[in-house]
Every structure is written in structure tokens, then in C-alpha cells.
Amino acid sequence: MPDARLLDDDAVEGCGKAPVALTAFGGDLARLDRAARRDRRLSPPRPFRTRGAFYRAIGGALWYKHPCARHGACFLVFERRVRMAAIDRIHALEILDSRGNPTIRVFLRLDDGRVFVASVPSGASTGENEAVELRDGDGKRYGGKGVLRAVENVNRVIAPALKGKDPSRQAELDRLMIELDGTPNKGVLGANAILGVSMAASKAAAEAAGRPLYAYLGDGDAVRLPVPMMNILNGGKHADNSVDFQEFMVMPVGAPTFAEALRYGAETFHALKKILSKKGYATSVGDEGGFAPDLRSDAEACELIVEAIQAAGYEPGKDVAIALDPAASSFFEGGSYLLAKSGQGPKSSAEMTALYERWITDYPIVSIEDGLAENDWDGFREQTARLGGRIQIVGDDLYVTNTRFIERGIREKASNAVLIKLNQIGTVTETIEAIRMCREAGWNYVISHRSGETEDTFMADFAVAMGGGQIKTGSACRSERTAKYNRLIEIEAEAGRAAVFSNPFPGGR
């Protein structure tokens, strides 16, 4: 390769000693764009409006081969000398989530004037090892659930520390916030404060790179759309009824595209509403948009869902399957699982596993999340050994998106999948690290919402970026849930023929 060196500012080095200025392209940005596109290592998503956008899209320096009369071929070297916009101001507000409880919205402004917004969700059933969601504890405001302390931590602690930083240095920013907090569970600043800034920085970096968020976080390879786990019946802490288990979901595993999967799920949802109404059950909905009827038993929920799938014109198991989230920690007391709402009484870990085994035989169930309590490691190991070859066993409260617990789970074979929630660990970087660990173990992972959601669609892009093929984000109603689904429809349309949608259980679970 001929001698070439990086030049300052907007210069381009050609062969030999004489520098070739960028005006070699006649100042024509379209020609510059075409030159970049001829290098197969690049796949710019769209023509660049500015030279700065071109440099940001290629991520810095680029060798570009071009014809040369002197050498037959030589290399141009482009070097980014356009300064990336830096963080100018960060501030937070206290807003309301979908359950009417306070949460945080973060505004991150770059020094070029662009503003990026991120809103943080909150959970109803939370694992005891989750990162701390900082609340005020002032009974005079929102029943003690205010988040003004977390807001102040963003405005007075995090914002000054991040001013002037490059938003594209995600790991560096997240590490700095973790160090500012100084605790293993983010108990000083609050995971809600830290996550809001982390998400906003990701959005800013993606925009600066000229890429959609999913493509930026997925390194340009993100084309797999997730199969949705759609909550259509609620119980447990998500509803005031006689159902012990928290979520009964449908998964349109047989759909050819995400848009069709959403249709399968929505039609099943509406078919279920008609069935419930005909049987005299209430059709009010719970926190995540699923119906919350006062059923006779937990098993009746599965029976009604199978009936709804068929009424919608689909084949149970082949077109639409069932997924469960019992959230067993919520009814674990005194060493037993108390199915008090349905009147079944206490059960041991082994009895719960036997119950699930019967259900797997009777109903088209492909996934069970938190079928046992978060500290029942022995029970999880036994359940996975017994059922893991037939269905997906998902740990949520068991792992709380924390690599320390996921590592233990992999070592002990406590499950074969992990539920991933950004606010359980509190930064984008740590969440990606948890997913990397799942991938290396060959485990499935499911990107999940929380019961207290906002209209922010970050998790939809994140699910595509991570490529896990599953997302859990509620029912086919309530705008904070459908916002994510609608964003996924946009992503699928944008990806076009490159989009991939497939059954996450190819082995026939």
C-alpha cells in the first residue's frame, strides 16, 4: 500500500507527497457520499446532508481505495475532524407513569441545540435485588412515591459531571454515573435518575451518528423483529380479582411478520373480550392492558385464552401460543406458595412445578416466567431440569438483569432464559452486558417493559438492536403499550425486505 498519512482538518491524503484537498470532489457532497458507498465495509442508511454527517456515520477514519494513474490504485484517508456535539445541559422533571405514580423524564441538550428526551418506567412487582428506584418517602406527596430527590440528583449531581462529555461514549458516561453513586445498587442517586440520563445519551449518540436508535445500538446489523408476549389476562398484583398468577400472555409464534403477529394478537384480544362479555365477566383491564375478570380458577384463564385463539381463527400452539408470568414471589409466604386468591391454598416448589407440568400438557404453553420465588434457587434448578427441555423457563426476579445473578444461574442451570429490564440494573451499558452473558451461554432473553410505563419507545428500538427475538410490552390496548408496538411496525417497514421475524422456539416448544 502506498505511503499515506492522516491530515488535519478537512484534508484528504492521496498518493505520494502532495495532499489532495477535499475539493477534489468538487465540494460535491453527493459525490463524497457515493465514494463512501463504494467501500463495501460501509452501509450508510441514507445520503448525507452534510460532511459532518458523513464523518459521524463512518465513525472516524476510513481507508478508501481509488484509481491512480501513478500506482494503479492508491488509498485516500478520510479523518473525522468535525467535533462531535457535546452535552451542554441535562435536567429532569417529575412526571406520571401509566399507573399514576411519579417517575422521571430527562432532557439532554447538546451544545448544537438538539434536545433528547427519555422517560423511565417503574415496576409493581419488584425483585428485592433490583437497583434502587429512589422515592422521596414524603407521605404528604403522592403517598410517599414522589421522585423529587432523584430529579435533584440529575440536576445537581449528574448534570455538572457530564457537561462537555461526548454522548457517544456510552460506557464511559454510565461508568461515571455509577462512580458518582458509589453503591452497588445505585441507592444514592437512584437507578431511575441514572437510567434516564443513560437512555437520553443513547438517543443523542444515535442521532449524531445519523442512524436510527436500533441500528446504532445494534452496530448496523439489527434486523430481527421480536415476537411479542401480549398480556391479555391479568391477575396477581396487576388486578383486583381472584386470579393468583400475574400475567397470561399470547405469543403469535406462527406469524410471518411482526405486523401480522400484532394483528394475530390484537384479534385474539378482541375475541377474548367478546367471550368474557358473553359469559358475564367484566372486561375492565389491568395495569398492562389485559382483562381482569373474576374467574373461578387460574386454569380457567388458560381455557378462555385457548377459546379466544380459536375464535379469532387461529390454531392454538401453531399460530398463537401461551406464555405465563405467575410472579410467584408475590404469593410466596412462610416457605410456601399461597394460592389464596383462587382458594387453592399452600403449595411446595415441587407441587408448583407439577402444576405447571400438567398445564403444559393441557394447554399450548411455551414459556413460564418466575414460576417460583426469587430466592428459590433449588426449586428453579429442579423445575428447569424437569421442564426446561419442553418450554422456556424465564428468570426475572431471580436475576434482576444483574450479571452476578445471571452468572450464577448459568452455572447452576437455574433456567434457560432471562427477562431483561433496563431499570432493574439502571444503565444501558450494564443491560447490554447482561444480554452478552445470555448470548454466550446460549440462553434466550426477553426485553421487557414495567407495569408503570410511559410513552417512551426506547425499549422497542432496544429489542431490535439486541436481536433476542422476544419482547414483553403489554396488551393490544393502552397507549403506553401500543406505542412500543407501533414503533416496531415502523422499524419493520424501515428495514423492508431485510427484516427478519421468526419463531423463537424453533425446536417446537
Q: How confident is the model at residue 123 (pLDDT cuts 50, 70, 90)?
A: confident
pLDDT digits (tens, 9 = 90+) for 286-297: 889 999 998 888
Q: Give the global pTM.
A: 0.84
pLDDT digits (tens, 9 = 90+) for 72-88: 333 344 433 345 799 99
Q: How many Å apart are CA 1 and CA 15, to the nearest integer?
A: 10
State the pLDDT at residue 22. Answer: 35
State the chain's mean pLDDT as an integer. Answer: 86
Q: And the C-alpha cell for 378?
A: 433449588
- For residues 194 and 35, the model is more confident at 194
Q: How many residues does the chain have?
A: 509
pLDDT digits (tens, 9 = 90+) for 393-403: 999 999 999 99
Q: Where are the domains of the chain?
A: 11-78, 87-210, 227-496
By mean pLDDT, which of 237-251, 271-285, 377-391 is the weakest? Answer: 237-251
Q: In this structure, how many other beta carbons lie within 10 angstroms of the beta carbon of residue 270?
A: 16
CATH homologous superfamily of 87-210? Enolase-like, N-terminal domain (3.30.390.10)
Mean pLDDT value of segment 262-286: 96
In whole angstroms, how far apart are CA 277 and each of 274, 282, 291, 302, 402? 5, 7, 11, 17, 42
- For residues 3 and 243, the model is more confident at 243
Supply φ then ψ for residue 68, to 5 degrees.
-145, 125
Q: Which residues are catalytic?
A: 288, 421
Mean pLDDT value of segment 162-190: 97
For cell 392454538, what's the residue? 316
Q: How many Å apart are CA 476 and CA 149, to the nearest integer?
A: 34
State the pLDDT at residue 297. Answer: 84
pLDDT digits (tens, 9 = 90+) for 46-70: 444 444 444 444 444 343 434 444 4
Angle between helices 428-441 and 191-208 (to 10 degrees): 80
| pLDDT > 90? residue 41 | no
**Which CATH number among 3.40.50.800, 2.40.40.20, 3.40.50.720, 3.20.20.120 corresponds to the domain 227-496?**
3.20.20.120
Residue 89, beta-bridge partner list: 109
Q: Which residue intervals of 363-449 are DSSP H helices?
A: 377-387, 403-412, 422-425, 428-441
